[in-house]
Amino acid sequence: MDTLTPENPAGAPAEKPNARTEAALGRLRQAMRAIEADIQAHHGIYPLNFGRVTQSELCRRADVKKATLQNPVHKDTTRVEIMAWLDALNTDLTQTRTHTRERVTAVADTLSADLASLTQAHQELQARLEAAEALIKQLQHENALLKSRLGIA
């Protein structure tokens, strides 16, 4: 989410951004993208922190102290954006260890069925490949035989 920007609380003209603030915002954005990628890569399950994505977990991943989000620069801007992102993200995630375990088991069962299906398809394709290779070998032999009858080298 690229909307994380600290606002000037006094409404004064924008000053040069603080390098530490910008670095923290960059790390938070990067951590948000990494968490979303982890969830997508793990079939909708967050693989760390017992499946829970919290403000503390985001700060841990971003290497930003949670207290940073409470200071005046971030409290009404960055923190609000993060909370909205967490709310949206957590609507699809299970929030308890038991539910996470059940969801992981369900995904694992689906993956087992997928593996069986792919193994069957692989065996069928392997059989077709072997039949095609045998046919090619037979046709090459016939081609060589016909060439020898015609006197073609």
Say how many C-beta atoms besides its own lie within 10 A of residue 81's C-beta. 18
pLDDT in tens, 114-146: 899 999 999 999 999 999 999 999 999 999 999
Say how many C-beta atoms besides its own lie within 10 A of residue 25's C-beta. 22
Secondary structure class of 38 (helix, strand, coil): helix
pLDDT in tens, 53-106: 999 999 999 999 988 888 888 888 888 999 999 998 888 776 666 776 777 777
Predicted confidence at residue 13, as pLDDT, reads 47
Domain residue ranges of the chain, discontinuous segments joined by +: 19-95
Query: DSSP characters for 39-85?
Result: HHHTTT---SGGG---HHHHHHHHT--GGGGGSHHHHTTHHHHHHHH
pLDDT in tens, 22-46: 888 899 999 999 999 998 888 788 8
CB under 8 Å to 24, separation ≥6 — which residues? Answer: 62, 64, 68
Short-list 50, 16, 57, 56, CA closest to 34: 57
Confidence at 147, pLDDT banded by 50, 70, 90: very high
